[in-house]
């Protein structure tokens, strides 16, 4: 079954298994037959499956990080580092990603991990 891949994340797929712990039961993701779209195309694709929102490129913890922003202001930030938790990340990049989310209407944050 093909996967939907955001273009900014395609290069990171082969690297995923280097970061996964053995107990996570990682299943290799192949690079062929995937549907690759840009973040600009995400709103139309999400609308086709009944989701009102868009996927935004939000680098910070990693260069390929994306966030799902719903039209109600809910945002699922995945790997975007909270500004108070910046360690090895570039603070300017993290701040710019959070500003992008605010500028697009983010109101309620649901992080994948870490503090709110």
pLDDT at 106: 97
Report strand pairing: 74-78 vs 108-111: parallel
Position 47 scores a pLDDT of: 97
**Which residue matches tokens 């109101």?**
107
For residue 1, the model assigns a pLDDT of 66
Q: What is the pLDDT of residue 32?
A: 79
Spell out, as residue ranges, where the chain has pLDDT lower than 70: 1, 113-116
Give the pLDDT of residue 116. 53
Kindly report, residue by residue over 54-67, the tens digit of the pLDDT. 999 999 888 889 99
Tokens standing for 36? Answer: 């690759």
CA distances from 106 to 57, 76, 100 (A): 14, 10, 9
């Amino acid at each position: 079954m093909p996967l939907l891949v955001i273009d900014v994340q395609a290069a990171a797929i082969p690297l995923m298994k280097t970061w996964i712990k053995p107990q996570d039961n990682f299943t290799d993701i192949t690079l062929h037959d995937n549907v690759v779209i840009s973040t600009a195309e995400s709103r139309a694709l999400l609308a086709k499956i009944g989701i009102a929102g868009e996927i935004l490129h939000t680098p910070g913890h990693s260069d390929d990080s994306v966030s799902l922003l719903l039209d109600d202001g809910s945002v699922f930030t995945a790997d975007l580092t909270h500004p108070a938790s910046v360690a090895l990340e570039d603070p300017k990049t993290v701040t710019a990603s959070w500003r992008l989310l605010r500028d697009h209407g983010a109101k309620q944050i649901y992080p994948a991990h870490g503090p709110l």
